[in-house]
């Protein structure tokens, strides 16, 4: 401890006193407690610290004594950024309110590096545009991060309906134009009309006015979905004439069809027709009510349009359809046999056979049942057989076939034959292809002996009797037969030559 201390020394019988003046200096130990905000630093003994902890430093005093300095450093957290609602939108000239944010000890700024204010700002809507505001929170001396609020002031849109006229005829269309707003949206309300071009959300529309009276048209224009303007326009619709016509729904190609107005309002001055690809055969003018004689040269569905006029007002266009059907194919198949006798029964048939069609054959006395695409007919004379084919729509196709029927009742015989096996004129028989009923056909020699007999006109004598070739000479034939209900007889002679 500090003090004055004496000590006596004896040397050579002499005493000496030594005096010590002792000073004890204290050790200067120190503890420092301090704090910083997160993200800042603390400088201690020449060193910067950014994290919490206990830091020590040893130093030598002016008296040469060592001392220890201890730093207890704390790091305070930053407050969170305030919660804001952004963007905040106004229409031009709209009343504004103070900005708000969640948090405490809020500081408001108009720029991030500017001077803050604790009073929330109130934006202005005097001009269109965008303004940014910033806000943060101060807690325990620490300043939190900024959040921003975008304030947008939209321009006030203009809603103006433009139309070429405000009075029109029933069924007329009218173009309606809205003043353009680059970033705007449009909403049309057109009661009693039919929008035929565009829709309720397009800038421009074409509307058809089908009902009479006054129609109030409304247009609402919104700027960015916030600011709106409304305009209206009164349209007066005056009556239009009414007219109708009738046309057969089904006709055949090439038919002449009568078309005429069946009803029209009193006072109609014109009727305007559109027959498209039809040929008008009989008409005074196509601005009258008809009647017209009209024909089509192509099959399928065809359209007829007509409207009536009273002054400048036209009726709603009336459209009807007509189905033009083709003529049926009545072409006949060729006959398989070239030799036909009167009284023969032959098979006749149409190339195209449709059970839905009606088939009529003539001459009627040739046939028993004419309604068939394939039929047997008894041919009574040379001439044409005709087929008429009628479809369910009344379309008729016709074809005819010339049949050169020959009278086959006469029997023809050669006057000689040579049964020598050379394949030429080796047999004796009738030379007709008629259909006969043979009662008897016999050949006798000069002695009256029957050497050949048959009842089939297709049988022939080969010049033998009981397998024995007969002599050269003259032989006599006799035939009795039926042809078309008549019994006929014929006789003659033939020379056998070898």
Structurally, the chain folds into a number of domains equal to 6
Q: Pick from 94, 99, 178: which is nearest to 132 by CA? A: 99
Asked if the model's pLDDT at residue 495 lies above 90, the reply is yes
Whether 482 and 430 share a structural domain: yes
In a domain, 275, yes or no: yes
Whether 115 and 141 share a structural domain: yes
- DSSP annotation of 284 reads S
Asked if the model's pLDDT at residue 396 lies above 70, the reply is yes
pLDDT at 373: 94
- DSSP annotation of 110 reads S
pLDDT at 285: 59
Q: Which residue has the higher pLDDT, 462 or 155?
A: 462
**Is 269 strand, coil or helix?**
coil
Both structure tokens of 90: 């106004």
Asked if the model's pLDDT at residue 21 lies above 80, the reply is no
Whole-angstrom distance, CA of residue 332 vs CA of residue 453: 42
Looking at the chain, the whole-number percentage of residues with pLDDT higher than 70 is: 95
Asked if the model's pLDDT at residue 338 lies above 90, the reply is no
pLDDT at 434: 60
pLDDT at 480: 94
In a domain, 15, yes or no: no
Give residue-wise pLDDT tens across range 71-93.
898 999 999 999 999 999 999 99
The parent domain of residue 51 ranges over 30-76
pLDDT at 25: 67
Whether 48 and 103 share a structural domain: no
Whether 194 and 231 share a structural domain: yes
In a domain, 193, yes or no: yes
Whether 258 and 316 share a structural domain: yes
In a domain, 124, yes or no: yes
Whether 71 and 134 share a structural domain: no
Whether 90 and 136 share a structural domain: yes
In a domain, 11, yes or no: no
In a domain, 98, yes or no: yes
Whether 121 and 95 share a structural domain: yes
Q: Pick from 437, 387, 429: which is nearest to 412 by CA? A: 429
In a domain, 384, yes or no: yes
Q: What is the CATH number of the domain that holds 126?
A: 2.60.40
Decide: residue 106, CB within 10 A, 0-12 exposed, 13-18 middle, 19+ buried. Answer: buried
Asked if the model's pLDDT at residue 328 lies above 70, the reply is yes
Q: 290-314 burial by CB neighbour count: b if 16+ within 10 A, else e?
A: bebebbbeeeeebebebbbbbeebb
Give residue-wise pLDDT tens across range 418-434.
999 898 999 999 887 66
Q: Which of 154, 176, 195 is the last residue before a domain boundary?
A: 154
Q: Average of pLDDT values for 164-175? A: 91
Q: What is the CATH number of the domain that holds 314?
A: 2.60.40.10
In a domain, 177, yes or no: yes
**Most confidently modeled range among 275-289, 440-454, 471-485:** 440-454
Q: Which of 372, 403, 434 is the last residue before a domain boundary?
A: 403
Whether 231 and 272 share a structural domain: no
Give residue-wise pLDDT tens across range 358-374.
999 999 999 987 789 99
Q: What is the mean pLDDT of the chain?
A: 88
Q: Which of 380, 403, 426 is the last residue before a domain boundary?
A: 403
Whole-angstrom distance, CA of residue 395 vs CA of residue 328: 7
């Amino acid at each position: 401890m500090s003090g004055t201390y004496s000590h006596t020394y004896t040397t050579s019988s002499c005493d000496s006193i030594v005096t010590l003046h002792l000073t004890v200096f204290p050790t200067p130990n120190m503890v420092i407690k301090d704090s910083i905000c997160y993200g800042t630093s603390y400088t201690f003994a020449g060193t910067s610290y950014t994290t919490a902890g206990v830091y020590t430093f040893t130093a030598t005093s002016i008296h040469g004594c060592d001392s220890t300095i201890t730093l207890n450093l704390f790091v305070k957290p930053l407050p969170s950024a305030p919660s804001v609602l952004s963007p905040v939108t106004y229409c031009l000239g709209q009343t504004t309110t103070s900005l708000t944010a969640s948090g405490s000890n809020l500081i408001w700024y108009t720029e991030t590096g500017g001077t803050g204010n604790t009073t929330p700002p109130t934006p202005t809507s005097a001009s269109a545009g965008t303004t940014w505001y910033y806000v943060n929170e101060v807690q325990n001396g620490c300043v939190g991060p900024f959040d921003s609020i975008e304030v947008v002031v939209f321009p006030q849109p203009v809603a103006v309906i433009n139309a070429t006229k405000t009075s029109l005829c029933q069924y007329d269309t009218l173009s309606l134009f809205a003043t353009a707003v680059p970033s705007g949206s449009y909403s049309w309300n057109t009661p009693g009309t039919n929008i035929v071009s565009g829709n309720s959300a397009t800038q421009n529309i074409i509307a058809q006015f089908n009902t009479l009276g006054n129609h109030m048209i409304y247009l609402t224009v919104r700027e960015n979905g916030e600011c709106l303007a409304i305009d209206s326009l009164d349209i007066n619709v005056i009556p239009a004439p009414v007219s109708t016509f009738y046309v057969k729904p089904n006709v055949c190609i090439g038919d002449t069809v009568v078309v005429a107005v069946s009803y029209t309002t009193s006072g109609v001055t014109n009727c305007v027709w559109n027959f498209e690809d039809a040929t008008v055969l009989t008409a005074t003018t196509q601005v009258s009510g008809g009647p017209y004689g009209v024909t089509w040269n192509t099959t399928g569905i065809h359209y007829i349009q007509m409207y009536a006029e009273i002054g400048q007002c036209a009726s709603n266009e009336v459209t009807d359809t007509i189905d033009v059907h083709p003529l049926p194919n009545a072409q006949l198949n060729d006959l398989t046999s070239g030799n036909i006798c009167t009284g023969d029964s032959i098979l006749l048939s149409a190339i195209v056979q449709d059970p839905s069609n009606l088939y009529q054959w003539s001459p009627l006395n040739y046939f028993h049942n004419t309604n068939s695409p394939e039929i047997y007919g008894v041919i009574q004379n040379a001439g044409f057989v005709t087929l008429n084919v009628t479809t369910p729509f009344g379309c008729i196709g016709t074809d005819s076939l010339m049949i050169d029927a020959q009278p086959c009742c006469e029997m023809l015989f050669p006057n000689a034959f040579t049964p020598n096996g050379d394949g030429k004129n080796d047999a004796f028989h009738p030379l007709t292809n008629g259909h006969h009923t043979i009662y008897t056909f016999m050949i006798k020699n000069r002695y009256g002996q029957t050497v050949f007999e048959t009842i089939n006109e297709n049988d022939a004598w080969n010049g033998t009797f009981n397998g024995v070739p007969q002599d050269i000479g003259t032989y006599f034939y006799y035939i009795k037969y039926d042809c078309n209900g008549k019994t006929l007889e014929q006789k003659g002679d033939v020379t056998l030559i070898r």
